[in-house]
C-alpha cells in the first residue's frame, strides 16, 4: 500500500484553545511547557484509543488525529522560537525539563535522527510481537510491524539526509561557540570585563549565533517528524506518534521524580 501524508491542520490542533499562545521569557515558556505536557498527555490518550480500536477507526479520523498531533508539535516550536528571540540562553539551560532530559539534549532539544531510530525500534518490536500469528497463517496488523520495502528504503534515505543536516548544524554550533574567543572578547576579558556595556553588546551578538543554531535544529526536528509520518500509512503514523509521546512523557516523568527524590535528600541533609 502507498504511504499517505495526512493533511496539516489549519490551526494549532483539534482541541482549539487548549494551549496558551506563545509568550517570550523563561517564566512564560516554562508555563507553556507545562501546558504542552498536559496537551501531549491528552494526545497520548487519543492515540492509544485509536491504535487499539476494534474495529479500526476510519482513515479520515486517523488523518485528523495525526494532523492534530503534528499541529501541536508545530505550535510548541513556534512558542519556543518566540521565547528564544527574547532570551536564547534559557533554551540551552532549560529549567522546565529534568536533569535526566537535559543529559540527552542536542542543540537545545532531542536529536532529529532519534525519531527515525524510534521508528526502527518500534517496528522491530511490533513485528516480533506479530510473528507467531503470522507464521501460523495470520496477516500482519496495520502497524509499524508491517513496514514495506519502499517505506524502509524511504526511511533509510531520510536517515542519511538527516545525519548530513545534523552535521551541518553541529558545525554551525561549533563556529558560534568558537566566536567567544574573538579579539574583541579577549580584549574585554583583559580589562576584567569591567566595560559592562561593551561586554553586554558582545555577548548578545554571540548569543544571536546560538539562537540561529537553535532555529536550525528545531526546524530539523519538526521536519523530521513530519517526514517520518509522511512515509507511513495513517494507522502506522498513529503508532509512531504514540511511541514518541509515550517515550517523551515517560522520560520526563522519570526525570521529575528522580529530581524530586534528590531534592528531598538534599533538604534533609544536616548543614555542614
Instruction: Tell me the pLDDT tens digit for each residue of 244-260.
Output: 999 999 999 999 999 88
Contact assessment for residue 63 and residue 1, using Cβ atoms and an 8 Å cutoff: no
Question: Buried b / exposed e across 57-86, counting CB within 10 Å, b at 16+?
Answer: beeeebbbbbbbbbbbbbbbbebbbbbbee
State the pLDDT confidence band at 63, using cuts at 50, 70 and 90: very high
CB neighbour list of residue 159: distance below 8 Å, 6 or more residues apart: 113, 116
- State the Cα torsion 40-256-79-21 to the nearest 10°: 70
* Residue 69: closest CA among 99, 100, 46: 46
Contact assessment for residue 99 and residue 105, using Cβ atoms and an 8 Å cutoff: no
All cell numbers assigned to 21:
499562545
Taking only the tens place, the pLDDT of each residue in 193-239 is: 677 788 778 888 888 999 999 999 999 999 999 999 999 999 999 99
All cell numbers assigned to 243:
511511541
Distance CA 180, CA 119 (A): 38
How many CA atoms, within 13 angstroms, populate the side-chain half-sphere of residue 143? 27
* Residue 7: closest CA among 53, 51, 49, 65: 65
How many CA atoms, within 13 angstroms, populate the side-chain half-sphere of residue 164? 5
Taking only the tens place, the pLDDT of each residue in 159-188 is: 999 999 999 999 999 999 888 888 887 888
Distance CA 185, CA 102 (A): 28
- State the Cα torsion 111-89-214-174 to the nearest 10°: -80
Mean pLDDT of the chain: 86
State the pLDDT confidence band at 15, using cuts at 50, 70 and 90: low
Q: What letter does residue 146 receive in the DSSP assignment?
A: G
State the pLDDT confidence band at 240, using cuts at 50, 70 and 90: very high
CB neighbour list of residue 4: distance below 8 Å, 6 or more residues apart: 59, 63, 232, 233, 234
Distance CA 145, CA 197 (A): 59
Chain centroid, CA 231 distance in Å? 19
* More reliable by pLDDT, 164 or 267: 164
Taking only the tens place, the pLDDT of each residue in 94-107 is: 989 999 999 999 99
Amino acid at each position: 500500500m502507498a504511504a499517505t501524508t495526512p493533511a496539516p491542520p489549519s490551526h494549532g490542533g483539534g482541541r482549539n484553545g487548549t494551549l496558551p499562545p506563545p509568550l517570550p521569557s523563561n517564566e512564560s515558556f516554562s508555563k507553556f511547557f507545562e501546558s504542552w505536557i498536559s496537551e501531549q498527555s491528552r494526545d497520548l490518550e487519543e492515540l492509544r484509543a485509536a491504535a487499539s480500536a476494534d474495529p479500526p477507526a476510519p482513515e479520515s479520523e486517523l488523518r485528523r488525529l495525526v494532523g492534530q498531533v503534528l499541529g501541536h508539535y508545530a505550535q510548541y516550536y513556534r512558542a519556543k522560537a518566540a521565547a528564544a528571540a527574547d532570551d536564547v540562553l534559557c533554551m540551552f539551560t532549560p529549567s522546565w525539563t529534568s536533569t535526566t532530559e537535559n543529559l540527552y539534549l542536542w542543540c537545545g532539544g532531542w536529536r532529529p535522527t532519534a525519531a527515525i531510530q524510534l521508528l526502527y525500534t518500534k517496528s522491530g518490536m511490533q513485528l516480533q510481537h506479530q510473528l507467531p500469528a503470522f507464521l501460523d497463517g495470520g496477516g500482519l496488523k496495520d502497524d509499524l510491524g508491517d513496514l514495506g520495502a519502499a517505506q524502509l528504503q524511504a526511511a533509510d534515505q531520510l536517515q542519511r539526509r538527516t545525519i548530513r543536516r545534523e552535521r551541518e548544524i553541529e558545525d554551525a554550533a561549533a563556529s558560534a561557540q568558537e566566536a567567544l574567543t574573538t579579539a574583541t572578547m579577549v580584549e574585554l576579558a583583559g580589562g576584567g570585563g569591567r566595560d559592562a556595556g561593551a561586554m553586554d553588546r558582545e555577548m548578545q551578538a554571540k548569543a544571536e549565533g546560538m539562537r540561529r543554531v537553535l532555529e536550525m535544529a528545531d526546524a530539523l526536528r519538526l521536519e523530521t517528524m513530519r517526514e517520518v509520518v509522511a512515509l507511513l500509512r495513517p494507522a502506522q503514523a498513529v503508532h509512531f506518534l504514540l511511541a514518541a509521546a509515550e517515550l517523551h512523557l515517560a522520560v520526563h516523568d522519570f526525570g521529575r521524580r528522580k529530581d524530586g527524590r534528590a531534592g528531598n535528600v538534599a533538604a534533609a541533609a544536616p548543614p555542614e
